[in-house]
A and B are shown apart, each in its own frame.
Chain A
Amino acid sequence: MTGTIALITGILLVLIGLWGILTNRDIIRMIVGFSLFDVGIHIIMLSIGYVAGGTAPIIENLSDIGKSYVDPVPQALVLTAIVIGLGITAFMLTYAVNMYEKKGTLEIDKFEELKW
């Protein structure tokens, strides 16, 4: 149940993020959309590895062996994905700053120097 809720939340966040990216012309708002999109994906990843009633996949003492625990691989992946997502977001923001300095605007449709 928890897994399903997480999955649905994740998918919803991905869709909201996409909606935000595609409907906001302001570059900062688009970047926020991307963040939501990312977070949604991360939650989907976690929900995939979720095992109902499982504990953290850490074996502290022998009595932990045999207990049900959640899949550790998605958790490891999600950490990496978060780091990468952070990097990309920071990178986008850097671009946004530079673009604003050059042109004095953050409207995406003002940056159409190159086309066709």
Chain B
Amino acid sequence: MVDPIYLIVIALATAFALGLFRKAPSLLPYGLTLAALAVMTVISGSWAYGILSGSLEGTDIFTAGFTPPVSINLYMGSLEAVLLLLVNLTALMTALVLRKEVKDTSVYMLMLLLVFVMGLNGVIMTRDLFNLFVFIEIVSIASAGLIALRSNLEQLGAGFKFVIAGALTSGFMLIGIIFTYYTTGSLNMDVIASQMSPALAATGYTGLFLIFIGMIMELKPFPVNGWGLDTYEASVPAVSALVAAGTTSAMFYAFLKTSYMSGGLFVQAAAVIGGMTFIGMNVLALQQDKSRRLLGYSSIAQIGLAVLAYALVALYRIENGEFIVFALILTHALAKALLFWLAGIVGKDSIHDWGVIKKKMILIAPFAVAVSALLGLPPFPSFFAKWDLVMGLAARGGMVWIILILSGSLLEAVYLMRWFGNAFKDSFNEEDTLDWRFGTVLPVFFNMTVLLALGYLSASQSSFSMGFNWILLGAVAVLMVLDFLPGIIKNLLLMGAIGYYGYGFVMAAESYRSVFAWIFALGALITLLPGFGVKGKRMGFYPSAALMFAGLIGLIEAVDFMGFFLSWEIMTLGSYFLILRGKDSKPHALSYMLFSLGGAYLLMTGFAMTYAGTGSIALGALVKAAIIPHSGIIFALLAVGFMTKMASAGLHIWLPGAHAEAETDVSPMVSGILLKAGVFGLLMTAISMGEQSIGPVSLPYVLSWVAVITALVANYMAAMQEDAKRLLAYSSIGQMGYALFGISLMSHLGWLSALVISIVHFIYKVTLFLAIGSVAKRTGTRNMYQMGGLITKMPFTFFSVLICIIALSGIPPLAGFSGKWIVYNAVLEKRWMLQGAVAGAAGIIAFLYLFRLIFAIFLGQLKDNHRKVKEAPFFLILPQALLLGLVMFFSFLPGSLLRPVGEILEEFTTAGALEWQGNMAISDYGYWNGVAVMWVFMALFAVFFLILTINGRRAQWIKQFNIVFAAERPARPETTHFSYNFFAPVRKALGFLEYPFTTNFWNRVSDFLHAVAGFCRRIYTGNGQTYLLQMVIFVVLSYMLTKGGF
């Protein structure tokens, strides 16, 4: 094996040799540089492979023919090897990206690059304090040279601030090093570490502190890091990439080494500084709209998180600490380098100009991967690291830190997701170009692949996992690779995969899981059908849909918390990408993502507390969690988490926009299928944990009120909409309110109603969204007052809507009635009359909006511009027809639905279960024979139909323009339409319900955070001298606080 000292020798020798080439053609020195970096990559790679596979062992490298402490020694172990590989690879990629700059500037740049990389290699390997200082200075000088590569004013200013901040930091460090030498008599970190004792720590405190604070300042802690932000912003993006990935990783490792050396003396201070940096930077970044500065904020925040993670692992003795810390560092380095390279390709600084990235649609994939990885979403290493960290913290009582970490992550999601959404949705100037070259594109895709591969590898490293079904994600990956195929072929592949896998999956699902398994698998197949009608490749649609369905399937299959949570996040991510595809869905997709992540973090906390209380990571532990301390809090956390997905009142504001703006066949997926994931989770919690309370407050009782208020207000809001798809979206919120009410009843009948509502809501909401979607598609508008009279143009769609609204309204004889009938039985049983009354009122309001769907769209006069409207296309009608068949089947034979579902629930509770006599269901309060009702209804229908047909022969047909209008032209023609503001009198009476309490509340939260960010970031005055003053104050304050005991 090559001696690692050659890493340094090669870089240094090549850098010197380049001096000979000043006037030679630029290709030769450039090739030489690439070759040197490639050789260094191979050397570090072979060490990494050797050590990790066990064929090599960590090795000391001695210099000058002596052993330490007399001479300097380096060390090559597994961590060093991995970091070296990371640094050298990033440098190699950066050299590729910098090809154009090499042509424009002199060969000095390449020398600087090599010296820079050499310094980083040294920082990682050295075990000698003074040697560390020397290498840090080398890195500092070389990077200061690279920062000012283009020598413009911004780069000069930023570079100078960087140099003076570095000089101050290294001055403190140097004093620290010499003091430490004075007290310990050695400069070798291992020797010092072996001597470390409380007495020595006390006498050598100042020296050790100065080394600690110096290393911390190299990591740019909040709030003394203005110079670091400037550096990230001003540099050529490729250089920023190397700084973000290389320098920070190497410096972080050096920080770890010195921290071990002092025996963890400053671990508490590190936790405070790391936590402060993570939160502070993420808050301040909210107001940032320059992409590279934004990345700078994010980089510093992520390093803060890594410092925090290291400190917490040490403080709480969390197992698997090495994995946690290094997964965070590696993910950050790979993702951040990728994003900076991407910033170079895009060439736009403002995040509002990133739309140009769509000129090469394929670049969206690495962008999405990097953002997801930074946010700690699955399946990336940071996800597993965060999971282990949170679980470990919960088990050791570190709840405060969990809250801090998760809030910081949520804040980070705000600005990263907003940026991603902007890039994906914003229009761009056709004349703008991308820097699309082999050298710039290869690194981006390389890092993307590495991130995905590392994610797969790190899953098995988590100590709180019982494994995950990777076949699901494998299918997504295959679709991602095959995205160049025509849409129809991908659709066939996906449907084939779901059909093939889904059969076994549905059969294997047990208990109430099987109900949801049916909804998810059948729903996937049915909602994918319309895809056959879409021409073209439909890039990105099928991988996203596959991701969502993989998550849904994984949710059912999960046996442990990790599996459940991972699937939950995957499902969220997939549905976010789907929703984002809608035309005007940018803000709605963002709020969907943020609410979902917030909810997910509550789930994570709930699971972690369950693990802490029961010591088990299996989902079944929820049953045991019913009797542990804080079980009420666990229940509340999980309930609110799941209710975010169900869009219960207060947490619903993301839904109307997200579901209304989504594409025609996406709306049914997210509304008809995805919402049921929340029902599933909540039902699981309720069944497992039973009735819980916090203090004297019974949680199911609280839920019941939230549920009926959700139903009431959402139904009212639905009635007031002019946009037909928004109407349906609000209707979904209302229906989920019923499901929530059913669960909150905590009885056999209550849960039965929740399951039945889930099933029938799936059927009719998918149908309705498809039907209304096809109307919107054919007429080009979603506003109901712009429609009318479409019954003759779209008869099937009319029929489909008619059947569904009867089913939805919950009146006999169609399937919706069974759900309602059971709810009212359950209410009587529970004696929650008041809630029952509100739910009943909500049901009546539902008629208002349902009626409008038929009346405004299909009846009345046909609009002039709709004379040529055709019936919906075949592939939108086919799924509706299938589902209508299902509605009719369940309507004729309600028992076929109620009986098996009821039997499932008898496993948990039999009290109040329905008795069956043939087709008649008997409860404690009455009976219902769905089949008889149906036949009676059919007979009556036939009689009236006959009478009307006979009378109708005498009716006179009136043409549309058989009416004379007054000779006035209204300013807003729609206001004269009978269907506009249809329920004006109701609005007069109940208008207060429309006041956007919730929206205003969340807007205020958002405004407040942004205002805080806008105010606080003024500490970054841009004045280098102020930054120095801040640093000096920071050092003095930290010294006083640590010395006094944090």
- Nearest chain A CB to B240's CB is how many angstroms away? 13
CA distance A114 to B235 in the complex (A): 12
Give chain A residues whose Cβ lies under 8 Å from the Cβ of B167: 34, 37, 88, 92
Return the chain B residue nearest A109 by Cβ.
Answer: B1023
Give chain B residues whose Cβ lies under 8 Å from the Cβ of A74: 178, 181
Contact with A along B343-365 (1 / 0, CB 8 A): 00000000000000000000000
Cross-chain contact B141 with A116 (CB below 8 angstroms): no
CA distance A98 to B168 in the complex (A): 21
Given A22-B1032, A48-B179, answer yes or no on A114-B1017 (Cβ-Cβ < 8 Å): no
Cross-chain contact A38 with B171 (CB below 8 angstroms): yes
Cross-chain contact B156 with A98 (CB below 8 angstroms): yes
Given A48-B181, A114-B233, A115-B1021, answer yes or no on A102-B164 (Cβ-Cβ < 8 Å): no
Q: Is A70 an interface residue (CB 8 A)?
A: no
CA distance A113 to B291 in the complex (A): 16
Return the chain B residue nearest A25 by Cβ.
Answer: B1025
Q: Using a CB-CB cutoff of 8 Å, which residues 116-174 of chain B contact chain A?
A: 130, 134, 137, 140-141, 144-145, 148, 151-154, 156-161, 163-164, 166-168, 171, 174
Number of A-B pairs, beta carbon distance below 8 Å? 119
Contact with A along B97-126 (1 / 0, CB 8 A): 000000000000000000000000000000
CA distance A103 to B152 in the complex (A): 10
Cross-chain contact A102 with B141 (CB below 8 angstroms): no
Cross-chain contact A115 with B1020 (CB below 8 angstroms): yes
CA distance A41 to B168 in the complex (A): 11
- Nearest chain B CB to A79's CB is how many angstroms away? 11
Of B156, B171, B1028, the residue contacting A41 (CB under 8 A) is B171
Q: Is B175 an interface residue (CB 8 A)?
A: yes
Cross-chain contact A103 with B171 (CB below 8 angstroms): no
Q: Is B502 an interface residue (CB 8 A)?
A: no
Q: Is B801 an interface residue (CB 8 A)?
A: no
Q: Is the interface of B mostly helix, strand, loop or mixed?
A: helix
Q: Is A99 an interface residue (CB 8 A)?
A: yes
Q: Using a CB-CB cutoff of 8 Å, which residues 38-72 of chain A contact chain B?
A: 38, 41, 44-45, 48
Given A22-B1028, A108-B1025, A113-B153, answer yes or no on A95-B163 (Cβ-Cβ < 8 Å): yes
Of B158, B171, B229, B288, the residue contacting A37 (CB under 8 A) is B171
Return the chain B residue nearest A115 by Cβ.
Answer: B1022
Cross-chain contact B157 with A113 (CB below 8 angstroms): yes
Give chain B residues whose Cβ lies under 8 Å from the Cβ of A41: 171, 174-175, 178
Given A30-B1025, A37-B171, answer yes or no on A95-B178 (Cβ-Cβ < 8 Å): no
- Nearest chain A CB to B300's CB is how many angstroms away? 14
What is the size category of the interface that chain A forms with chain B?
35 or more
Return the chain A residue nearest B1019 by Cβ.
Answer: A116
Cross-chain contact B158 with A95 (CB below 8 angstroms): no
CA distance A65 to B1028 in the complex (A): 48
Cross-chain contact A21 with B1028 (CB below 8 angstroms): yes
Q: Is A28 an interface residue (CB 8 A)?
A: no
Give chain A residues whose Cβ lies under 8 Å from the Cβ of B1025: 21-22, 25, 30, 108-109
CA distance A116 to B1025 in the complex (A): 15
CA distance A103 to B164 in the complex (A): 19
CA distance A92 to B163 in the complex (A): 7
Q: Is B281 an interface residue (CB 8 A)?
A: no
CA distance A84 to B130 in the complex (A): 12
Cross-chain contact B1024 with A111 (CB below 8 angstroms): yes
Q: Using a CB-CB cutoff of 8 Å, which residues 82-116 of chain A contact chain B?
A: 84, 87-88, 91-92, 95-96, 98-99, 102-103, 108-109, 111-116
Q: Is B21 an interface residue (CB 8 A)?
A: no
Of A44, A92, A114, A115, the residue contacting B164 (CB under 8 A) is A92
- Nearest chain A CB to B949's CB is how many angstroms away? 75
CA distance A90 to B287 in the complex (A): 38
Given A34-B164, A88-B141, answer yes or no on A44-B1020 (Cβ-Cβ < 8 Å): no
Q: Is A6 an interface residue (CB 8 A)?
A: no
Of A37, A95, A109, the residue contacting B156 (CB under 8 A) is A95
Q: Is the interface of A mostly helix, strand, loop or mixed?
A: helix
Give chain A residues whose Cβ lies under 8 Å from the Cβ of B503: none
Cross-chain contact A102 with B1020 (CB below 8 angstroms): no
- Nearest chain A CB to B1045's CB is how many angstroms away? 26
Q: Is B213 an interface residue (CB 8 A)?
A: no
CA distance A77 to B1025 in the complex (A): 29
Q: Is A8 an interface residue (CB 8 A)?
A: no
Q: Is B836 an interface residue (CB 8 A)?
A: no
Q: Is B1018 an interface residue (CB 8 A)?
A: yes
Give chain B residues whose Cβ lies under 8 Å from the Cβ of A25: 1025
Give chain A residues whose Cβ lies under 8 Å from the Cβ of B179: 48
Q: Using a CB-CB cutoff of 8 Å, which residues 163-213 of chain B contact chain A?
A: 163-164, 166-168, 171, 174-175, 178-179, 181-182, 187
Q: Is B234 an interface residue (CB 8 A)?
A: yes
Contact with A along B714-750 (1 / 0, CB 8 A): 0000000000000000000000000000000000000
Q: Using a CB-CB cutoff of 8 Å, which residues 223-265 of chain B contact chain A?
A: 226, 229-230, 233-234
Give chain B residues whose Cβ lies under 8 Å from the Cβ of A116: 287-288, 1017-1018, 1020, 1022
Cross-chain contact A108 with B153 (CB below 8 angstroms): no
Of A18, A22, A73, A92, the residue contacting B160 (CB under 8 A) is A92
Q: Using a CB-CB cutoff of 8 Å, which residues 570-595 of chain B contact chain A?
A: none
Give chain B residues whose Cβ lies under 8 Å from the Cβ of A112: 157, 1021-1023
Of B130, B141, B1022, the residue contacting A113 (CB under 8 A) is B1022
A14, A21, A74, A103: residue with the most chain B Cβ atoms closer than 10 Å:
A21
Return the chain A residue nearest B234 by Cβ.
Answer: A114
Of B144, B229, B1032, the residue contacting A91 (CB under 8 A) is B144
CA distance A108 to B137 in the complex (A): 23
- Nearest chain A CB to B953's CB is how many angstroms away? 79
- Nearest chain A CB to B199's CB is how many angstroms away? 20
Q: Is A2 an interface residue (CB 8 A)?
A: no
Give chain A residues whose Cβ lies under 8 Å from the Cβ of B181: 48, 73-74, 77
Give chain A residues whose Cβ lies under 8 Å from the Cβ of B942: none
Q: Is B834 an interface residue (CB 8 A)?
A: no
Q: Is A32 an interface residue (CB 8 A)?
A: no
Q: Is A12 an interface residue (CB 8 A)?
A: no
CA distance A81 to B145 in the complex (A): 20
A25, A38, A84, A114: residue with the most chain B Cβ atoms closer than 10 Å:
A114
Return the chain A residue nearest B230 by Cβ.
Answer: A114
- Nearest chain A CB to B283's CB is how many angstroms away? 13
Give chain A residues whose Cβ lies under 8 Å from the Cβ of B1028: 21-22
Q: Is A4 an interface residue (CB 8 A)?
A: no
Q: Is B1029 an interface residue (CB 8 A)?
A: yes
Give chain B residues whose Cβ lies under 8 Å from the Cβ of A45: 174, 178
Give chain B residues whose Cβ lies under 8 Å from the Cβ of A96: 160
Give chain A residues whose Cβ lies under 8 Å from the Cβ of B1022: 111-116
Cross-chain contact A114 with B156 (CB below 8 angstroms): no
Return the chain B residue nearest A80 by Cβ.
Answer: B134
Give chain A residues whose Cβ lies under 8 Å from the Cβ of B130: 77, 80
Give chain B residues whose Cβ lies under 8 Å from the Cβ of A102: 151-153, 156
Cross-chain contact B174 with A111 (CB below 8 angstroms): no
Given A84-B137, A92-B164, answer yes or no on A98-B148 (Cβ-Cβ < 8 Å): yes
Cross-chain contact A88 with B1032 (CB below 8 angstroms): no
Cross-chain contact A98 with B151 (CB below 8 angstroms): yes
Give chain B residues whose Cβ lies under 8 Å from the Cβ of A111: 153, 156-157, 160-161, 1022, 1024
CA distance A48 to B178 in the complex (A): 7
Given A30-B1025, A111-B1024, answer yes or no on A99-B160 (Cβ-Cβ < 8 Å): yes
Pairs across A and B, CB under 8 Å, 28 listed: A14-B175, A21-B164, A21-B1028, A30-B164, A34-B164, A37-B171, A41-B175, A73-B187, A80-B130, A87-B137, A87-B141, A91-B145, A92-B163, A95-B148, A95-B159, A95-B163, A99-B160, A108-B1023, A108-B1025, A111-B156, A111-B161, A112-B157, A112-B1022, A114-B157, A114-B230, A114-B1022, A116-B288, A116-B1020
A109-B1025, A116-B1017 given; 14 more Cβ-contact pairs under 8 Å: A22-B1029, A22-B1032, A48-B181, A74-B181, A80-B134, A84-B134, A91-B141, A98-B151, A99-B157, A108-B1023, A111-B161, A111-B1022, A113-B153, A116-B1022
5 shortest interchain CB distances as A-B pairs? A115-B1022, A112-B1022, A111-B157, A114-B230, A95-B160
